[in-house]
Chain A
């Protein structure tokens, strides 16, 4: 589904590479944690996976296509198959929580497989039933995060990428959100969760872990293998 082969990325010609020789394969229905120290390149790797950056070298294939040669239309079509949760949420301030969550369905037009009723149900499930008509400006950090997660999963993505998705929520809500991700994964969605939450990872030790160190990627078969806390 996703294959990176010796991918390198630098932001400017004369700068050092942020990512070097990153190679990995994500199979359909896989679940990975992505860890690394601050500045190790986790967000950059997620942005590569989300097609908002292009590799400066190496080859990257997603859904059978070379991502360095995508047109705008192909990129949009591919992004509809990917859900992403950013650390800074990126909710639109003039839309209600409900409208923000429904945005991926709205931009697709036609007759989406998910109904507006399902948006409501999803919002209830992430604990935002009383904030559906609220604007992001009045939501707390945790509420914004849950709205961003709901927006990422509402379109039933084939790949879900999340950058510290449990960073702003209490442990109970963190587990609840993880359960949502695991259910999506059980239905075939590939999940990559970038996190510093070792406690969370230790609760799901069977999932493999991708670790970024100085721009290089190492893969561990278990989340709790060789964890340096």
Chain B
């Protein structure tokens, strides 16, 4: 320690000569320690929230994809119903005439009258065991496959068909399509509401955590004020930790959700559901696993959670600082 009586030269800080330009930083140690801001339990809570958000987003995405596939299938096939007319021979004639007419229409790629056996099999579950099912007067169905790129105008086709054949009517499955759309839209809205609620809950948790971090770092904030730190500098010391927490927890939560989606197709099988159960699940949620855009949604969710952590902590810390200034 220089305590000799000889006067040492004064430090440059109080010298009149120009000072040397800065050549290194002023320390890398975090001013606010991470452990005092974000603990493990907070990381776990945010990770669980992110996991649930990703799960909901993924399921909604899968159901929508599946519904789109259904609608595409429905759009590519329509049905013509021919009401019973006379005896079986007359009925066969009527079906043949309608089939011939339909084959001439533009936009129609294939016309297939449904065999009587298949038709009987369709109604059997409702009628039960009937001795002579073929003798019953039943409408005949004709399946029409349409050119997806150049589909016919179904309204016009239906009108023309009914005008030419009084016993024939076209069903373009519009009601089905509407129901599927309504179902998937309801599911999407429900999913969105759940995601918004979980996002709000996560935001509230972060604001509370920011408040607690401010309280436990009160002395540091006081010192930062004393040395002339601007509000944004103080806010940055906290929000940086929350951003890191958001990224870390988001990655963990999204990875767990991705794992669930990866193994989901095998879960029904693993639980002993067998091929039938798996087929039922597939009918509702498609393949049961996400495609690439689906996984991209999970990555986006990580970004959303990280940004949420950063922005809500910024908002929380700023509010507290402003309140302290009043």
Q: Considering the complex, which residues of chain A in the window 76-110 have a beta carbon less than 8 Å from any beta carbon of chain B?
A: 76-77, 79-82, 84, 86, 90-92, 94-96, 98-99, 102-109
Chain A binder among B10-18, B62-70, B92-100, B296-304: B10-18
Q: Which 9 residue pairs spanning A and B have beta carbons closest together? A: A80-B228, A99-B27, A102-B26, A106-B26, A107-B229, A79-B228, A115-B22, A104-B227, A127-B1
Q: Which of B3, B13, B31, B219 contacts A90 (CB 8 A)?
A: B219
**Shortest Cβ distance from B319 into chain A, in angstroms?**
12
Closest to B232 in A: A73
The prevalent SS among residues of B at the interface is loop
Residues of A within 8 A of B11 (CB): 118, 121-122, 124-125
Contact A115 B16 (CB under 8 A): no
Residues of A within 8 A of B321 (CB): 72
In this complex, how many residues of chain B approach chain A with their Cβ under 8 Å: the count is 40
Task: Give bound CA distance, A108 to B23, whole Å.
Answer: 16
Closest to A75 in B: B325
Contact B19 A153 (CB under 8 A): no
**Shortest Cβ distance from A119 into chain B, in angstroms?**
7
Contact B33 A94 (CB under 8 A): yes
Q: Which of A86, A109, A116 contacts B233 (CB 8 A)?
A: A109
Chain B binder among A7-15, A21-29, A180-188, A219-227: A180-188
For the complex, is A55 an interface residue (Cβ under 8 Å from B)?
A: no
**Shortest Cβ distance from A6 into chain B, in angstroms?**
24
Q: Which of A92, A121, A179 contacts B223 (CB 8 A)?
A: A92
Report which B residues bind A (CB closer than 8 A): 1-3, 5, 7-8, 10-14, 16, 19-27, 29, 31, 33, 219-220, 222-231, 233, 321-322, 325
Task: Give bound CA distance, A109 to B230, whole Å.
Answer: 10
Q: Indicate whether A121 sits within 8 Å of B12 (C-beta atoms), given known contacts A92-B220, A116-B23.
A: yes
Residues of A within 8 A of B31 (CB): 92, 95, 103, 106
Contact B10 A180 (CB under 8 A): yes
Closest to A81 in B: B228
Closest to A175 in B: B5
Contact count band on A: 35 or more
> Can you list 16 A-B pairs, Cβ within 8 angstroms, ordered by A?
A92-B223, A99-B29, A106-B25, A107-B224, A114-B12, A114-B22, A115-B24, A116-B26, A117-B12, A118-B13, A118-B20, A119-B26, A121-B11, A122-B13, A183-B10, A187-B16
Residues of B within 8 A of A199 (CB): none
Residues of B within 8 A of A106 (CB): 25-27, 31
Contact A99 B26 (CB under 8 A): yes
Residues of B within 8 A of A82 (CB): 228
Report which A residues bind B (CB closer than 8 A): 50, 52, 71-73, 75-77, 79-82, 84, 86, 90-92, 94-96, 98-99, 102-109, 111-119, 121-122, 124-125, 127-130, 151, 153-156, 172-173, 176, 179-180, 183-184, 187
Residues of A within 8 A of B227 (CB): 79, 103-104, 107, 151, 155
Residues of A within 8 A of B29 (CB): 94-96, 99
Contact B230 A107 (CB under 8 A): yes
Contact A76 B10 (CB under 8 A): no
Q: Indicate whether A127 sits within 8 Å of B13 (C-beta atoms), given known contacts A72-B325, A92-B223, A107-B230.
A: no
Residues of B within 8 A of A151 (CB): 227
Task: Give bound CA distance, A121 to B8, whole Å.
Answer: 12
Contact A98 B226 (CB under 8 A): no
Closest to B229 in A: A107
Contact B1 A103 (CB under 8 A): no
Closest to B21 in A: A115
Contact A114 B19 (CB under 8 A): yes
**Shortest Cβ distance from B16 into chain A, in angstroms?**
7
Task: Give bound CA distance, A96 to B29, whole Å.
Answer: 9
Contact A115 B230 (CB under 8 A): no
**Shortest Cβ distance from B294 into chain A, in angstroms?**
42
Contact B20 A115 (CB under 8 A): yes
Q: Indicate whether A154 sits within 8 Å of B231 (C-beta atoms), given known contacts A79-B226, A117-B20, A118-B20.
A: no
